[in-house]
Structure 1
Amino acid sequence: MKNETYVRAFYKTGVYVAELIEMQEENQRALVKVLAVLRHPTQGDLHNPKMTNVPFFHQRKALAQFEKTWVPLSSLKSYDEQVPDYKTSLKKALEKQISELESQDTDWSRACLEKLKECQNEYGL
């Protein structure tokens, strides 16, 4: 059975499975509650992607389990699959991104890996 309350939500550079809490058509946004991580956020400066020569190379953590955030309505897609366990999905998304970056050999990928290892330690994974 299709569940209209679960969505795939894109927030900055991360992708999440979330519960739809509220929609504001007039503001073109929705309030969602994070249930799982599908893609871990990209590290670094969002305004200067894939660049390391920036004033501050940001560590970007995934949104926490049950964290609520506003996202643009245009970033939502229906989610009809089984909702994965948060911690398991976080670990899988983080490991996938680390694996993809390890196959590259750039200053940016090395800087990202350093920040992702910090995230991994802080998550306790």
Structure 2
Amino acid sequence: MSSKASAVFPGTGTVWSARLLSVLRIVAALGFLQHGTAKFFGFPALPFPGPLPPFVIAGGLLELLGGALLLFGAFTRPVAFVLSGEMAVAYFLFHAPQGFFPATNGGEAAMLYCFVFLYFAFTGGGPWSLGGLRSADKS
């Protein structure tokens, strides 16, 4: 963190940056996980009734399993990479054809999840994760 930021927020730095990385991972995973629970368990309820098409079932499995793994910070980098790809596919196949702007094509969440997960693919899950606990045990 820059010296200007440290002057505004004394006591902040790499410790809190790492912790907030974990908080972002947990919050993003909880938000993502609810898409999988909605598809498979009906909670929260989805606006469209009926049987799910196969591609929605595949996406729901990634959301359910990937969201749970990210929530606990297990295999964060490879899981986040796969989920980032899933969200890129979701955006370009389902949202982009509806219009150019994410605010009008309903693709804001897919776009944000794509880049947040890509960030996790490079940074990992942070100290409050199973991966972070495992690497702390080795030192």
TM bin, normalised by shorter chain, reads under 0.3
When the two structures are superposed, what TM-score results if normalisation uses the length of structure 1? 0.26
When the two structures are superposed, what TM-score results if normalisation uses the length of structure 2? 0.24
- Counting helix residues as a fraction of each chain, which structure ranks higher? 2
